[in-house]
Amino acid sequence: MIEAAKDVLRGNDMGDFTKPGPNQYPHQWNWDSALIALGLSFFDIPRALLEMRSLLNGQWLNGMLPHVVYHGHETDYFPNPGFWKIETSRYAPSIHTSGITQPPLLAIILRKIHETFNIPDFVREAFPQLMSWHRWLHDDRDADNSGLVCIVHPWESGTDDSPRWLEILGGIDPSGLEAFARGDTHYVDVDERPYPHDYQRFIYLIDLFRRSAYDQGTIIADSPFLVQDVLFNAILYRADKDLQALGDVIGEDTSVIEGWIRRMEAGFNRRFWDDDAGLYYDFDVRHQRKIQISTGITFLPLFAGLTSPEQAERLIHEHYQHPKHYAVDNQVKYHLTSASKDLQGWDPRRYWRGPVWILLNWLVYHGLLDYGYTREAAGLCADSLALMSKSGFREYYDPRDGTGCGSERFSWSAALAIDWLS
Ligand code: DGY
């Protein structure tokens, strides 16, 4: 299985970056790339460092690390580099990138690679760029001075069409948007991709941002989508801690990072924990309301170490193991469905509406282990490996029968299989 996984990473290798999927995702994606570097590190350290370096080459002058770096390759992917018009921003880099960011996994992954393979020189090289990305997030994306950061586009959550975003998207009027042609349904069945209604609003938001020249103050003031996402904040908190540890390795002053960590600790549970439901809910900053939708993201504070043992117990007993919500049963044979089974509109084959994702399983697996749920963790690892050996390294899987969906030969599934099996 490790050889088959390496073969996927080699097949998607473009020389200085790795495509998440051969046809569906032909450029370099931010959080995919971090996970790909982790997979590569087990058999080719120089190539793993190059992967991270190529991603960091797309960094904006204000520190933002964009969600896609195009590296000048011509493809049929939409939105193409020209669509973003990033040159309207005085902070845009000289290479083509998107104009939004993605969950900041890179510091977490770099620490993992360093702890296994001891790469202090690369830590020294990457640290200032990671610092400036995290600083940008804490400075430019803290819309309400709470210490928590906002995302302004569903693509920044990495869980594009998650049921968490539907109400906000439904309230956006996209009229005036010029016609465009989707590129994401050429290689993947339309029933496994976001609905046209949602996709149109994804593009509407990009159009809004490019018209404001990616000025973050304007975007925070104007974007109809302005959300404190549990996933993004949990990942950032953990990434800040790992960045601090990396700073200590190379003798940097990390007191600024300490400040970010303390503020997030003070605000996280107050904002996201719902004691009635026993769940973490995202917060819609624009409309000042909780987003009361249960998805697999509610387990991410376990990965971050942000939940108390009592809260963890409620998450596991009342939700993860509950027959109505996330438990496996006669119908759903594999953990972890990306949305609660009893959610209206649960769709086990459509993108983030229900399928199992290997990354979500891997993050929750580590959280379960950290909190002592070893049996559940072992089950989640076993389910993930079973899905990949049954149906190959797919982008996501139908939790009922384990058949694959989305892109074939998906890089992060392969990379995380290598991590698990190594
Ligand atoms: C896509 O192209 O659908 C991606 O998820 C956006 O990053």
SS3 of 201-250: the string is HHHHHHHHHHHCCCCHHHHHHHCCCCEECHHHHHHHHHHHHHHHHHHHHC
Q: How far is the CA of 155 from the centre of ligand 1 (A)?
A: 7
Q: How far is the CA of 106 from the centre of ligand 1 (A)?
A: 19
Q: How far is the CA of 51 from the centre of ligand 1 (A)?
A: 19
pLDDT at 32: 98
Q: How far is the CA of 205 from the centre of ligand 1 (A)?
A: 14
Q: How far is the CA of 100 from the centre of ligand 1 (A)?
A: 12
What length is written for the chain?
Answer: 422
Ligand 1, atom 2, residue with closest C-alpha: 184
Test site for ligand 1: of 160, 187, 351, 407, most ligand atoms within 8 A of the Cβ = 160
- Which residues are tagged catalytic? 160, 395
Q: How far is the CA of 323 from the centre of ligand 1 (A)?
A: 32
The set of protein residues with a Cβ atom below 6 angstroms from ligand 1 is 67, 155, 160, 184
Single out the residue of 295, 150, 140, 156 nearest to residue 227, CA to CA: 150
**Which numbered atom of ligand 1 lies nearest the CA of 77?**
2
Ligand 1, atom 4, residue with closest C-alpha: 155
pLDDT per residue rounded down to tens, the chain (422 residues): 999 999 999 999 999 999 999 999 999 999 999 999 999 999 999 999 999 999 999 999 999 999 999 998 889 999 999 999 999 999 999 999 999 999 999 999 999 999 999 999 999 999 999 999 999 999 999 999 999 999 999 999 999 999 999 999 999 999 999 999 999 999 999 999 999 999 999 999 999 999 999 999 999 999 999 999 999 999 999 999 999 999 999 999 999 999 999 999 999 999 999 999 999 999 999 999 999 999 999 999 999 999 999 999 999 999 999 999 999 999 999 999 999 999 999 999 999 999 999 999 999 999 999 999 999 999 999 999 999 999 999 999 999 999 999 999 999 999 999 999 99
d(CA 280, CA 288): 16
**Which numbered atom of ligand 1 lies nearest the CA of 98?**
7
Provide DSSP, 380-415.
HHHHHHHHHHHH-S-SEE-TTT--EESSSS-HHHHH
Q: How far is the CA of 206 from the centre of ligand 1 (A)?
A: 12
**Which numbered atom of ligand 1 lies nearest the CA of 160?**
5
**Which numbered atom of ligand 1 lies nearest the CA of 25?**
2
Gyration radius from the chain CA atoms: 20
Q: What SS3 state is found at 86?
A: helix
pTM exceeds 0.85 for this model: yes
Tokens 């770096």, residue located: 69
Paired strand residues for 68: 29
Test site for ligand 1: of 184, 187, 357, 405, most ligand atoms within 8 A of the Cβ = 184
Q: What SS3 state is found at 151?
A: strand
Phi, then psi, of 121 in degrees rounded to 5:
-65, -40
**Which numbered atom of ligand 1 lies nearest the CA of 68?**
7
pLDDT at 73: 81
Test site for ligand 1: of 19, 23, 24, 25, most ligand atoms within 8 A of the Cβ = 25
Test site for ligand 1: of 29, 67, 102, 155, most ligand atoms within 8 A of the Cβ = 155
pLDDT at 258: 98
Ligand 1, atom 6, residue with closest C-alpha: 155
**410 is written with which tokens?**
């998906």
